[in-house]
């Protein structure tokens, strides 16, 4: 029952995600400073408190080896969820609402442009 509710919530969050603005990778690099305490990207990126984010756009959820994901993340992965730009946008805006029970403590990026910029930045890796 919990799994069905979680998948329904994920589907609703995905369908209600706002249209993505055009992102600026250079601006996204600056916004990514908010993420660096827990995540790495680029050459030699390693898992920290959060998984490394190389190849995140288009990658299935919970796909980084040697990272201990939350049960909520594993349930999303079992349902076939992929980190599309739309899913990332919804997650980055409000991680707890998008995936209740996930381990990310960050409250989210409140500005849609910052979300788009971070996604543009991450797409480079």
Question: Tokens at residue 11, please?
Answer: 């589907």
Mean pLDDT across 40-66: 97
Q: What's the mean pLDDT when you consider all of the chain?
A: 89
Residue 82 pairs in a beta bridge with 60
**Is the confidence at residue 13, as pLDDT, over 80?**
no
Contacts of 108 (CB under 8 A, 6+ apart): 92, 93, 94, 95, 96
Percent of the chain with pLDDT over 70: 83
Mean pLDDT across 55-69: 97
Cα diameter, the chain: 43
Task: For residues 120 and 49, give the distance between their C-alpha atoms in angstroms, rounded to a whole number.
Answer: 22
Tell me, what's the pLDDT at 10? 52
Helix (H) or strand (E) segment spanning residue 77: helix 71-78
| SS3 letters across 30-74 | HHHHHCCCCCCCCCCCCCCCCCCCCCCCCCECCCCCCCCCCHHHH
Percent of the chain with pLDDT over 90: 83
**Is the confidence at residue 20, as pLDDT, over 90?**
no
**Is the confidence at residue 82, as pLDDT, over 50?**
yes
Contacts of 99 (CB under 8 A, 6+ apart): 6, 10, 13, 72, 73, 76, 91
**Is the confidence at residue 120, as pLDDT, over 90?**
yes
Residue 82, SS3? strand
**Is the confidence at residue 7, as pLDDT, over 60?**
no
The confidence band for 17, taking pLDDT boundaries of 50, 70 and 90, is very low
Residues 2-122: name the CATH superfamily.
Cytochrome c-like domain (1.10.760.10)
Q: What residue spans define the domains of the chain?
A: 2-122
């Amino acid at each position: 029952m919990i799994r069905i509710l979680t998948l329904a919530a994920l589907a609703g969050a995905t369908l209600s995600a706002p249209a993505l603005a055009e992102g600026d990778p250079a601006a996204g690099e600056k916004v990514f400073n908010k993420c660096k305490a827990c995540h790495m990207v680029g050459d030699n990126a390693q898992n920290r408190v959060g998984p490394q984010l190389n190849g995140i756009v288009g990658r299935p959820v919970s796909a980084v080896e040697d990272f201990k994901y939350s049960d909520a993340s594993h349930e999303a992965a079992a349902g076939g969820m992929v980190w599309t730009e739309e899913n990332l946008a919804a997650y980055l805006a409000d991680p707890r609402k998008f995936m209740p029970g996930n381990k990310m403590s960050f409250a989210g990026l409140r500005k849609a442009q910052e979300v788009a910029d971070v996604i543009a930045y991450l797409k480079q890796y």
